[in-house]
Structure 1
Amino acid sequence: MHFALIYLFIIATSAYAIPSDLTAPVVKHAWAHIPEGWEVDAMPSANHPITLKIGLKQSRINELINTLYEVSDPLHPKYGQHLSRIEVEELVKPHPESVYAVHDWLSMHGVNIATEVARNSAGDWLSVSLPLSRVESMLAAEYRVYRHKRTDERVVRTTAYSLPRALHDHIDLVQPTTMFDNMRKMHAMFHVDESAAPLLPEGTVLPDVTGPAGYVPQAADKGNRIGVTGYLEQFVNFADLQTFYSMFRPDAVGFNVSVLSIDGGLNDQTMLGVEANLDNQYTTGISFPTPNIYYTTPGTAPTINDSVTPPQRDEPYIDWLNFVLSHDDMPFSFTTSYGGDEQTFPKEFANRACNLFAQLGARGASVMFSSGDGGVGAGTCLTNDGTNRTIFQPVFPATCPFVTGVGATFQIAPERGIDFSQGGFSVYFPRPSYQAKAVPPFLEKLGETYAGLFK
């Protein structure tokens, strides 16, 4: 993650007395029992290293969201008047009281604010590396080594953590804490039919599609770029990319994508990635000669286990978002083909990530996410809140109102929707105002069909 190590407010924290309520812990999040599939395996070492990440409240996030809607509305006087990085960071930077309170709390536990705390460029996402014993003291938590019964993966987590009451209004989330994982992959949005025969013999060159379904290649505008995101150790293979061009876009042969690593993300040419190859081949196949940037970010998103999406390790979205948002120069179109059942993402995490997507939008970026490839719901469609209700499962981050969820199609002339494409109404996020005219007529037409299966 890209961090600025010095923050203006740190010079003042030593002048403030530590409030007494910083010593009164109140539960921030807890599981009633160990998440399904896990069991206690061992006691971790007191010196086990933890990189603690702290999300501070964003002081003027509602103002930023209102601005996003204004600059995105063709009928609004501010349409197209996007914000700069500095203007966005001014709206989301934490209130000084939040900074003071969190710094006092960290200082109380022996953290040197000037030398040990890293932060993103907005100052609302802190990171500090500490031994486990100190983390347990700070969070009034008891960590254990947990083993996943099916995969045999082991992680150090807690089933509950607390923060001083005074910090609950200043901190959105802390991790890693109750986010369990088993190094399993979250959904990568591709659908493979192993029984299908090859569509065309190798080396077949297809004629251009003409008429309404065709398109005319455009010259790449100066400065225009497209960002393609990749996670889960999915890599774009350059040789495969050229093979794709030779078959489907011969005028692009020799063209390549730029690879940008975040947090040590790799692009190993010996490891073929189905999702990464698919995403880059079709994006560049359509957008050539516009430059494409492939962002490779390690890690998977923290989840609450359900019947389809397994629990996973540290999130990739916030790492990627903080990296991109910290730069003045960035693409203004992004496409992502990853996600998982919305209910498997802790709500506090989903809200925080969604607000970061709003920051991208306020700066003028269009962010596209695949809506899913499991139909109206994958697996058993059971809720994971203990009630075991059957509902349609929407996919996050496509459910975030500040991104564009895109379903799958097949065929051309005419193009048609595919039966495994997903979508649905969010449980976490209220219906955005821009859908006010489209959704009610749809629901009226639907009538009582599927009543009770969606919100």
Structure 2
Amino acid sequence: MLFLRLVSLVLLSGSGVVLAEPRISPSVIHEKRTYTPAGWSRARRHEASAILPLRIGLVQSNMDKLEELLLDVSWPESPNYGKHWSVGKVVETFSPSRETVDTVRGWLGDSGIEPSRIKLSGAKTWIEINVTVEEAERLLGTEYHVYSHSSGKEHVACDSYELPEHVSKHVDIVLPSIHFDAVVKRDGGSSHTLSNIGQPGVGLVPKTTGTISSILTELETCDEQITLACLRALYEVVYVPVATSKNSFGIVEYTPQAYLQTDLDMFFGNFTPNLVGTAPTMASIDGGYAQTEYTGFDYNGESDLDLQYGMSLVDPLPVTLYQTGDMVEGASFNNFLDAIDGSFCAFEGGDDPYYDATYPDPYGGGYEGAPSGPENCGTATPAYVISTSYSYNEADLSPAYAARQCAEYAKLGLMGTTVLYSSGDDGVAGNDDLCLNSDGSQTANGTMFNPGFPGTCPYITSVGATQVNPGASVAEPESACMQVIYSGGGFSNYFAMPSYQASAVEYYLTTYPPPYSTSQYNATGSRAFPDVSANGANYVVAIDGDFYLVYGTSASSPVTGSILTLVNDARLAAGKSPIGFINPTIYSSAFYGAFNDITTGSNPGCGTIGFNATAGWDPATGLGTPNFPQLLARWLALP
């Protein structure tokens, strides 16, 4: 099983939980936090009579077979390659067992929780009960405190919690507990969310050196400005989609990030004239829309970049924009997953209120739901390729939370969707150039490498960044990006190495052993990233009426997604399935030489030069950049 669990045995010590005699078992620490995240401090003990919406994430069936099942439809030599699953088969295969549901229900009932208070989600993946803080503390053998953020916001958490041993093996995660917000919540008197994944300065965002006065159009100047012509020349992209009625490409944005149609038209007018006046196909998730209340690079840079290049490269295929979250509550990755995978939805389509945005807005003023339900749950069709240019640091989330989300990407792969995420822009450091300390905290002067998430999830394809070297042309090899940003890459602290990349990564570690100790990075058989890369420097992007130079793996991911969408087009036109989860295929011997190997540059961070780009796979540029003719020919040769 890929997920590393942090569970240790302790004796039951005065928790006050009353269990029926036949069900008594010793308690175990289910999750424990070793530090308080930066910006937060413990303010006071939580009021005993306050109500907590306790959510219990149930262990799903067949998780130990997840990689095996995914490889069965993704490994190029498998007889079932490309035979993707239906939604119904996914739900049937992974729903928690009757034993799991009954065990957790029984424990709650024996602990004094009336059956009428226990609610099970439609997909049987979550149990919700509204309890007082006092009840929660007795159930979990813990103490809840209120924490204050430097912004003035507050959050409820505990340091650790216990479960009876016979219950623990049936539970993934309990919320709220040790976890701190991926979405920092409002209080009743605040007017907007402090920081969700789409807020300026939060997570992975593109960088800029400012506006430019003129656009360079010669391929000889691609070292100074990247345009569509440069990308097509770099990756030999000569293809016009023909299966547009069968194919699909989706780009995910998180409000308040939004595109401006005037910016799209400004870009299209210069580079793709036939698209002037064309907008992406909007798939609104939880009240998402192309907001215009806030503008400027920090609000429009990401969406403008993704859509201008994504729409142009796959033209005339329409691009779906998954605009996620409203202006008040915002959203997290789980809110998006809810909408495209109904089996992931929690109780009544909602997420846990302490990690993800909840709808309808509990404070008023935000998205109040649609006729189909309070929150979008299984309402958006997943595209065949989905690109996301946002990320957290892996250490921002607990191992259990990250593992539960990662499993959902595997389910999308089983259904034939390719999921791409940017690998990060700070080399071996995390977002905001933060590094890890031995206690798990993140600071600017930390010495341990800080991998990004979801890039470390073994069931997505992580995309790093390259550059055309100064003074070079597109005919010369690229290097790892070392202008303004550094390609994110390294090794997970949460996930084990998947079998599909073991040979490539072991070759790298043996042939080019990094000059770092195990106290700096996790070299003990963990998931390595990125998987591939594409140019991430000097992009010409129209933003708020000016052309800017933009940098980041934020550009690399949608460009890679566009190229894979063109491969899908050719396969669909030939009557074949979409490529789905690509990692087992691209690491196989059948695809040796299908990527342009990057052998120069590195990804500095945490006071080091990071990892060097080398021959073969490396933790700066992965397998390399796309060679479209090679990728097209090899995927067309598969069944």
TM-score scaled to structure 1, two decimals?
0.80
| Cα offsets for 1:126-147 (capped at 9, x unmatched) | 4455554544444344323211
Identify the residue that residue 291 of structure 1 maps to in structure 2. Answer: 318
Identify the residue that residue 350 of structure 1 maps to in structure 2. Answer: 402
| Cα offsets for 1:2-31 (capped at 9, x unmatched) | xxxxxxxxxxxxxxx967546865432233
Alignment of 1:310-349 (within 5 A): 316-326=332-342, 327=378, 329-349=381-401
Q: In structure 1, how many angstroms separate the alpha carbons of the residues matched to 2:388 and 2:134?
A: 38
Question: How much identity, in percent, do the aligned residues show?
Answer: 30
Evaluate the alpha carbon distance shift between residue 116 and residue 238 of structure 1 in structure 2; reply closer, same or farther with a 3 A threshold. farther
Pick one of 229, 238, 253 that aligns with 2:252: 229
Identify the residue that residue 278 of structure 2 maps to in structure 1. Answer: 255
Identify the residue that residue 401 of structure 1 maps to in structure 2. Answer: 458
Pick one of 19, 38, 41 that aligns with 2:40: 38
Q: In structure 1, how many angstroms separate the alpha carbons of the residues matched to 2:46 and 2:319?
A: 44
- 1:447 equivalent in alignment to 2:449: no
Identify the residue that residue 86 of structure 2 maps to in structure 1. Answer: 84
| Cα offsets for 1:350-372 (capped at 9, x unmatched) | 21111111111111111101111
Structure 1 counterpart of 2:72, which letter? E
Give the Å deviation of 1:154.
1.4
Identify the residue that residue 435 of structure 1 maps to in structure 2. Answer: 501
DSSP-derived class of the 2:336 partner: helix
Answer whether contact 1:155 1:180 (CA < 8 A) is retained. Answer: yes
Answer whether contact 2:85 2:416 (CA < 8 A) is retained. Answer: yes
Q: In structure 2, how many angstroms separate the alpha carbons of the residues matched to 1:398 and 1:33?
A: 23
Q: In structure 1, how many angstroms separate the alpha carbons of the residues matched to 2:303 and 2:129?
A: 32
| Cα offsets for 1:215-236 (capped at 9, x unmatched) | 3331352232222223364233
Identify the residue that residue 56 of structure 1 maps to in structure 2. Answer: 58
Identify the residue that residue 175 of structure 1 maps to in structure 2. Answer: 175
Structure 1 counterpart of 2:177, which letter? T
Q: In structure 1, how many angstroms separate the alpha carbons of the residues matched to 2:210 and 2:278?
A: 32
| Cα offsets for 1:248-305 (capped at 9, x unmatched) | 3222122222333334445423234332333233322322332322223349xxxxxx
| Cα offsets for 1:55-85 (capped at 9, x unmatched) | 2111112333212111111111111111111
Identify the residue that residue 7 of structure 1 maps to in structure 2. Answer: none
Identify the residue that residue 632 of structure 2 maps to in structure 1. Answer: none
Structure 2 counterpart of 1:368, which letter? L
DSSP-derived class of the 2:503 partner: coil
Evaluate the alpha carbon distance shift between residue 33 and residue 425 of structure 1 in structure 2; reply closer, same or farther with a 3 A threshold. closer
Structure 2 counterpart of 1:413, which letter? V
Q: In structure 2, how many angstroms separate the alpha carbons of the residues matched to 1:18 and 1:360?
A: 41
Answer whether contact 2:23 2:107 (CA < 8 A) is retained. Answer: no
Identify the residue that residue 377 of structure 1 maps to in structure 2. Answer: 429
Alignment of 1:119-134 (within 5 A): 119-121=121-123, 123-130=124-131, 132-134=133-135
**Segment of structure 1 superposing worse, 87-96 or 225-234:** 225-234
Give the Å deviation of 1:168.
0.4
Q: In structure 2, how many angstroms separate the alpha carbons of the residues matched to 1:347 and 1:145?
A: 22
DSSP-derived class of the 2:493 partner: coil
| Cα offsets for 1:309-366 (capped at 9, x unmatched) | xxxx998233322331224943121111111222332111121111111111111111
Evaluate the alpha carbon distance shift between residue 227 and residue 245 of structure 1 in structure 2; reply closer, same or farther with a 3 A threshold. same
Evaluate the alpha carbon distance shift between residue 344 and residue 288 of structure 1 in structure 2; reply closer, same or farther with a 3 A threshold. same
**Segment of structure 1 superposing worse, 378-387 or 431-440:** 378-387
Q: In structure 2, how many angstroms separate the alpha carbons of the residues matched to 1:26 and 1:90?
A: 30
| Cα offsets for 1:426-452 (capped at 9, x unmatched) | 222222222233223322332353454
DSSP-derived class of the 2:283 partner: strand
DSSP-derived class of the 1:426 partner: strand
Pick one of 219, 225, 237 that aligns with 2:242: 219
Structure 2: runs of 5+ lacking an equivalent = 1-18, 185-193, 217-226, 343-377, 524-639
**Segment of structure 1 superposing worse, 96-105 or 186-195:** 186-195
Give the Å deviation of 1:403.
0.7
DSSP-derived class of the 2:172 partner: strand
The aligned length equals: 420
Evaluate the alpha carbon distance shift between residue 200 and residue 53 of structure 1 in structure 2; reply closer, same or farther with a 3 A threshold. farther
Answer whether contact 2:38 2:441 (CA < 8 A) is retained. Answer: no
Structure 1 counterpart of 2:104, which letter? V
Evaluate the alpha carbon distance shift between residue 246 and residue 84 of structure 1 in structure 2; reply closer, same or farther with a 3 A threshold. same
DSSP-derived class of the 1:428 partner: strand
The alignment yields a C-alpha RMSD, in angstroms, of: 3.4
Q: In structure 2, how many angstroms separate the alpha carbons of the residues matched to 1:42 and 1:246?
A: 58
Structure 1 counterpart of 2:100, which letter? S
Evaluate the alpha carbon distance shift between residue 333 and residue 32 of structure 1 in structure 2; reply closer, same or farther with a 3 A threshold. closer
Give the Å deviation of 1:406.
0.6
Identify the residue that residue 74 of structure 2 maps to in structure 1. Answer: 72
Evaluate the alpha carbon distance shift between residue 370 and residue 116 of structure 1 in structure 2; reply closer, same or farther with a 3 A threshold. same
Evaluate the alpha carbon distance shift between residue 153 and residue 248 of structure 1 in structure 2; reply closer, same or farther with a 3 A threshold. farther
Q: In structure 1, how many angstroms separate the alpha carbons of the residues matched to 2:55 and 2:504?
A: 39
DSSP-derived class of the 1:64 partner: helix
Identify the residue that residue 144 of structure 1 maps to in structure 2. Answer: 145
Q: In structure 2, how many angstroms separate the alpha carbons of the residues matched to 1:372 and 1:102?
A: 39
Q: In structure 2, how many angstroms separate the alpha carbons of the residues matched to 1:244 and 1:224?
A: 24
Answer whether contact 1:38 1:147 (CA < 8 A) is retained. Answer: yes
DSSP-derived class of the 2:491 partner: coil
DSSP-derived class of the 1:437 partner: helix
Answer whether contact 1:220 1:288 (CA < 8 A) is retained. Answer: no
- 1:422 equivalent in alignment to 2:488: yes
Evaluate the alpha carbon distance shift between residue 267 and residue 138 of structure 1 in structure 2; reply closer, same or farther with a 3 A threshold. farther
**Segment of structure 1 superposing worse, 28-37 or 353-362:** 28-37
Q: In structure 1, how many angstroms separate the alpha carbons of the residues matched to 2:502 and 2:45?
A: 52
Give the Å deviation of 1:392.
2.7
Answer whether contact 2:44 2:145 (CA < 8 A) is retained. Answer: yes
DSSP-derived class of the 2:69 partner: helix
Q: In structure 2, how many angstroms separate the alpha carbons of the residues matched to 1:18 and 1:96?
A: 20
Give the Å deviation of 1:192.
1.5
| Cα offsets for 1:85-105 (capped at 9, x unmatched) | 111112211111101122234
